[in-house]
Amino acid sequence: MAQDPIILIIRTLGEMYAFIVVLRFLLQISHADYYNPISQAIARLTNVPVLALSRIIPKAGKLDLSALLYGIAVKMAVLVLLVMFSGMAMPNILQLLMLSVVGVFDAILTIYFWAVLASVVISWVAPGSYHPGPQLIQQITEPLFTLARKVIPPIGGLDLSPILIFIVIQIVQSQLGRLLF
C-alpha cells in the first residue's frame, strides 16, 4: 500500500509525457504550424531524444517515425517501471512491446477523438479564431475531416464527417482490447 503514490506518480508523469510525444508525431503528420507557441513547447520538450532517434532511424518517405518510436519507447519504460514498483512478474519483451504499441495507438485515437470534438465545438463557438490552441486543433483534425468528407460529403451545408470519425474511432478502440487478449 505504501507504494501506491509512487505508482500514481509514475503513471501520471509517464502518460503525460507519452501524450506529448504522441502529439508531436500527430503535429508532424498533419503538417501543423511549427511556429505555433504550443507546437514550439511540444518540440522543446521532446527535441533531444527525437532528434537523436531521427539520426538513427531513416524516414519512411516524408514520414518521420522517430517521434512515434520514441512514444512507444516511453510507453514501454512506463510499463516496466509500473511492473517493477507493483511487485508483479515482469512480462516478456514481446508482451511489453505489444502493450506499448497498442497503448500508443490508443493514445492517437483518443487524441483524435477529443480534437475532433473540440474542433466541432470551436466551429460553433469561435469559427476562424486566431488563438494558437484552436488553430492547432483545426490543423490536426483537418486531414482527418478531408478524408472523412470523401466518404460522406457535406449534405446541404451540414458536415457529417465528425460522426463518421467518432464511429470509426469507437469501433477501433473497442477492438484494441480484444487484440491484446
pLDDT tier, 1 (very low <50, low <70, confident <90, very high otherwise):
very low
5's grid cell: 503514490
Taking the CA atoms of residue 122, residue 128, residue 132 and residue 135 in that order, the dihedral angle to the nearest 10 degrees is: 70
Radius of gyration of the chain (CA): 18
Q: Would you say the pTM of this structure is higher than 0.85?
A: yes
Model pLDDT for residues 98-152, shown as the tens digit of each residue: 999 999 999 999 999 999 999 999 988 888 778 899 999 999 999 999 999 999 9
> Do 10 and 67 form a contact (C-beta atoms < 8 A)?
no
The predicted pLDDT at position 181 comes to 63
Identity of the residue numbered 50: V
The chain-wide mean pLDDT, for the chain, equals: 90
* Helices marked H in 30-92: 37-56, 66-86
pLDDT tier, 6 (very low <50, low <70, confident <90, very high otherwise):
confident
CA 36 vs CA 9, 18, 42, 94: distances in Å: 30, 20, 10, 38
> Do 172 and 110 form a contact (C-beta atoms < 8 A)?
no
Domain extents for the chain?
4-180
Mean pLDDT across 58-62: 79
Give the whole-angstrom CA distance, residue 47 versus residue 51. 6
Report which secondary-structure segment, H or E, holds 122.
helix 93-125
The predicted pLDDT at position 73 comes to 95
